A and B are shown apart, each in its own frame.
Chain A
Amino acid sequence: MTRLSSTVTSRRQFLALTAAGSAFALAGCATAQPVASTGPALSGAYSGPPVTLEYWNGFTGGDGPAMRQLVADFNASQDLVTVKMNVVQWAQYYQRVIAAVHAGKGPDVGAMHVEQLATQAARQTISPLDDVVTELGLSASEYPAQVWDAGTYDGRRYGIPLDVHSLGSYANTALLEQAGITDRASTGEELQRNLSALVAAGVETPFWVPNRWPAHLIFLSLLWQFGGEPYAPDGGSATFDSDAGVQALTWMTQNIDQGFSPPNVAPDSQYTAFKNGEGAVTWDGIWQINDLQATAPDLRWSLAPIPTVGTEPAVWANSHQLVLFRSRTPDDNRLLASKAFLRYLTDNSAAWAAAGMIPARSEARETPEFRASPQAAVADAIPSMRFLPTVAAVGEVQAQTLETAVADSVLGRAEPAAALSAAAERATALMQGNLQKFER
Chain B
Amino acid sequence: MSSTGTGLRAAAAAGGKPGTVAGKDVAARPRDTASTQGRDTRDGWLFLLPYLVLFTVFVIVPAVFGLWISLHDYDYTLPEKPFVGLDNYTGLLTGDSPFAAPFWSGMQATAIFTLASVPLLLVLPLAVALAMNLRFRGRNFFRAMYFAPYVLGVAVVAVLWRYLLDTNIGLVNSYLDAVGLSGAIPWLTQLPWAWVSLVGVTLWWTLGFNTVIYLAALQDISPELYEAARMDGATAVQRFRNVTLPGLRPVLLFITSVTIIASVNMFGQSYLMTQGGPGQDTRTAIYQIAETGLTSFNSGVASAMSLIFTVFLAAVSVAVFYVFRDRDAR
- Chain A positions within 8 Å of B, measured between CB atoms, are 1-4, 15-16, 19-20, 22-24, 26-27, 30, 33, 95, 98, 102, 122-125, 211-212, 262-267, 269, 272-273, 278, 393, 396, 400, 404, 407-408, 411, 413, 426, 429-430, 433, 437-438, 440
Number of B interface residues in the complex (CB < 8 A): 43
Starting from the known contacts A23-B62, A266-B168, 12 additional A-B residue pairs (CB-CB under 8 Å) come to: A1-B18, A4-B19, A19-B64, A27-B65, A27-B69, A124-B78, A211-B277, A266-B188, A267-B189, A396-B295, A396-B296, A437-B73
Kindly provide the distance from the CB of A1 to the nearest chain B CB, expressed in whole angstroms: 4
Contact call A27/B68, Cβ cutoff below 8 A? yes
Instruction: Give the 7 A-B residue pairs with the shortest CB-CB distance, closest first.
Output: A264-B186, A429-B98, A23-B65, A123-B77, A1-B19, A23-B64, A266-B167
Which residues from chain B contact A1 at a C-beta distance below 8 Å? 18-19
Which residues from chain A contact B76 at a C-beta distance below 8 Å? 102
Interface CB pairs A-B, < 8 A, 14:
A3-B23, A15-B60, A16-B64, A23-B65, A23-B68, A95-B294, A124-B78, A269-B169, A396-B296, A400-B280, A411-B189, A411-B278, A411-B279, A437-B73
- Chain B residue nearest in CB terms to A31: B76
Contact call B277/A212, Cβ cutoff below 8 A? yes
Contact call A22/B56, Cβ cutoff below 8 A? yes
* In the complex, B232 has a CB within 8 A of chain A: no
Which residues from chain B contact A23 at a C-beta distance below 8 Å? 61-62, 64-65, 68
* In the complex, B101 has a CB within 8 A of chain A: yes
Which residues from chain B contact A437 at a C-beta distance below 8 Å? 73, 75, 78
Contact call A407/B278, Cβ cutoff below 8 A? yes
- Cβ-neighbour of A123 out of B56, B78, B102, B168 (below 8 A): B78
- Chain B residue nearest in CB terms to A269: B168
- Cβ-neighbour of B77 out of A98, A212, A413 (below 8 A): A98
Give complex CA distance A411, B280 in Å. 12
Contact call B64/A408, Cβ cutoff below 8 A? no
Which residues from chain A contact B60 at a C-beta distance below 8 Å? 15, 19
CB contacts between A and B, total, < 8 Å: 109
- Cβ-neighbour of B279 out of A19, A263, A408 (below 8 A): A408
Contact call B167/A413, Cβ cutoff below 8 A? no
Contact call A211/B189, Cβ cutoff below 8 A? yes
* In the complex, B50 has a CB within 8 A of chain A: no
Contact call B168/A267, Cβ cutoff below 8 A? no
Kindly provide the distance from the CB of A185 to the nearest chain B CB, expressed in whole angstroms: 25
Kindly provide the distance from the CB of A336 to the nearest chain B CB, expressed in whole angstroms: 27
Give complex CA distance A267, B169 in Å. 12
Most buried by A among B56, B60, B77, B80: B77
Contact call B295/A95, Cβ cutoff below 8 A? yes
B residues 282-309 near A (Cβ < 8 Å) are 294-297
Give complex CA distance A26, B63 in Å. 13
Kindly provide the distance from the CB of B107 to the nearest chain A CB, expressed in whole angstroms: 16
Which residues from chain B contact A16 at a C-beta distance below 8 Å? 64
Give complex CA distance A136, B189 in Å. 49
- Chain A residue nearest in CB terms to B17: A1
Give complex CA distance A200, B279 in Å. 33
Contact call A269/B166, Cβ cutoff below 8 A? yes
- Cβ-neighbour of B61 out of A4, A22, A102, A404 (below 8 A): A22
Which residues from chain A contact B75 at a C-beta distance below 8 Å? 437
Most buried by A among B79, B98, B280, B295: B98
Contact A400-B102, Cβ < 8 Å, known A22-B61, A27-B68:
yes
Which residues from chain A contact B62 at a C-beta distance below 8 Å? 23
Give complex CA distance A408, B189 in Å. 10
B residues 43-67 near A (Cβ < 8 Å) are 56, 60-65
Kindly provide the distance from the CB of B182 to the nearest chain A CB, expressed in whole angstroms: 12
- Chain B residue nearest in CB terms to A407: B279
- Chain A residue nearest in CB terms to B296: A396
Contact call A266/B61, Cβ cutoff below 8 A? no
